[in-house]
Amino acid sequence: MKTLLLLIAAATLFSGQAQAQQLREMFSKTNPSVVVIRTVERRVTPQAQGLMSLPGLGSGVVISTDGKILTAAHVVQAADQVAVEFVDGKKERAHVVASYPRADVAIVQLDFPSPGLVPAKLGDSDAVQVGDDVFVIGAPYGLSHSLTVGHVSGKHLSQESIAGVSKVEVFQTDAAINQGNSGGPMFNMAGEVIGIVSQILTTSGGFQGVGFAVTSNVARKLLLNKKSFWTGIDGYLLTNELARIFNVPQSAGLLVMRAAENSPASDLRLIAGTIPTNIGGAELVVGGDIILEVAGIQIVEDWKTLDEMQTALGNLQTGEKFTLKVLRAGMVVELSAYVRAKQ
């Protein structure tokens, strides 16, 4: 019996050492693909009683040798400036080229990609099962290239489709995720990206064992397999009572809370909100334009119209004109701009 117990203990120890060795090897292999994303964004702060340029922090992963980086939409959606920091400390300027805020995924493009970029491989997230071992690399609280380990705790499907993707899936994980991890990659034990870190559920502000990552297949379908578009708008869909409160002359409108500099939103000269407020539990920045129509498509209460607009904008050619109708100071105003060269 003693011999059997010793053999079991030895086998357990050997298995643990083998797993640790595999994790060390996978971290060494994948870490060069992981980046820290630093942003600057104008935000309204009650303390300053106006707009302030504030720094932002997130993570991302290189997915191509020409400098494309996958991250979370909420990290970069309304950013005025984007910089990417590599494992060796080198920083490069970048810009957003595609984003799906509803799915919280985006692509950032390096302005001047350096030779020798190490892209990570996108895995097949459909093959992932609950209980699989995973690891996350990111910059929690600015501690760049930090490793956390855990499991896939659950797989959850959205109730509605996004841009024709009927099964928008997210992974739940117990791998520690905190502020700064957003946009970072979740890897399987083969070193493949199977998810992009999105958010946590917390009552304390820190990680409490429940984090979520948008699956790699969702990111691939929305950003790589079809044409996408970045608006530079951080908006809020006004429907029902909120639409009535804001005197929206139709069933719904998109409140422009923030608009990034040097973006299609700035080309259109959209006016962003200036007054932070809470209405019915919704944290809003009011006083800006309310979008009523994009490229001839009227906004209604159904989220599908926003997907239709995103698709319509993505299909526009460089130099092609597009128009918006907005509610501004009680009047309906038409705005127009031309599609920038796509990079």
- H/E stretch holding 18 reads helix 2-30
Are 101 and 74 in contact by the 8 Å Cβ rule? The answer is: yes
Q: How many domains does one find in the chain? A: 2
- In a domain? residue 65: no
Which of 33-37, 171-175, 206-210: highest mean pLDDT? 33-37
pTM of structure: 0.87
Same domain, 145 and 197: yes
The pLDDT value given to residue 334: 96
Q: Which of 87, 145, 156, 153 is nearest to 117 (CA)?
A: 87
SS3 10: helix
CATH of the domain at 290: 2.30.42.10
Residue 8 has pLDDT above 60, yes or no: no
The pLDDT value given to residue 204: 42
- Give the model's confidence band at 309: pLDDT under 50 very low, under 70 low, under 90 confident, else very high: confident
**Cβ within 8 Å of residue 183, ≥6 positions away:** 37, 58, 59, 60, 70, 71, 72, 75, 76, 106, 138, 196, 197
- In a domain? residue 207: yes
Could you report the per-residue pLDDT of 242-263, keeping only the tens digit for each? 999 999 999 999 999 999 999 9
Length of the chain equals 343
Where in the sequence is the domain holding 146, given as residue range(s)? Answer: 121-224
Of 89-93, 158-162, 223-227, minimum mean pLDDT range: 158-162
Could you report the per-residue pLDDT of 167-185, keeping only the tens digit for each? 678 999 998 888 889 999 9
Are 324 and 259 in contact by the 8 Å Cβ rule? The answer is: no
Residue 291 has pLDDT above 90, yes or no: yes
Could you report the per-residue pLDDT of 19-29, keeping only the tens digit for each? 667 888 998 99
Q: Strand 192-200 to strand 121-122: parallel, antiparallel, or no bridges (unpaired)?
A: parallel
Same domain, 209 and 161: yes
Q: Which among 189, 224, 259 is the end of a domain?
A: 224
pLDDT top residue among 50 and 137: 137
- Give the model's confidence band at 203: pLDDT under 50 very low, under 70 low, under 90 confident, else very high: very low
Catalytic residues: 74, 104, 182
Q: Which among 203, 224, 245 is the end of a domain?
A: 224
Share of residues in the chain with pLDDT > 70 (%): 86
Exposed, middle or buried by CB within 10 Å (0-12, 13-18, 19+), for 279? middle
Are 197 and 137 in contact by the 8 Å Cβ rule? The answer is: no
Same domain, 214 and 293: no
CATH of the domain at 206: 2.40.10.10
